[in-house]
Structure 1
Amino acid sequence: MMQVNQELQQALEELQVVKEKLHQAYEELEQRVAERTAELVMSNVLLQQEIIRHLRNRTVLW
């Protein structure tokens, strides 16, 4: 019985470590997603500005 309790305790400790690593990986992934989203938003703004410039230039040429 004592052997089983020790094995269960060890398994529980290993699960806690895995849980913490999974949580950390999730947090890192969330951070990467947030950073990438910000980059894409900025790229989108720059592209919209470029489109406006092109449309203005086209209008001037006509």
Structure 2
Amino acid sequence: GAMATPGSENVLPREPLIATAVKFLQNSRVRQSPLATRRAFLKKKGLTDEEIDMAFQQSGTAADEPSSLW
């Protein structure tokens, strides 16, 4: 969904990239690796912290870590 709210960000979250990250995070082998490893991998793939957070939320694996967002 490309619903841009004016003045929020010039950078739209890159949906395809996040979708790929979600698939990656849902991989059963990946889920056994430490959170830091998963984050580092996605960072290397060019995702921002914000996009990584979104991917974790969408993948349903965010529960693996205590969330600092709330």
Larger radius of gyration: 1
- TM-score, normalised by the number of residues in structure 2: 0.24
- TM-score, normalised by the number of residues in structure 1: 0.27
Larger helix proportion of the pair: 1
Which structure is richer in relative contact order (CA contacts within 8 A, separation 6 or more)? 2
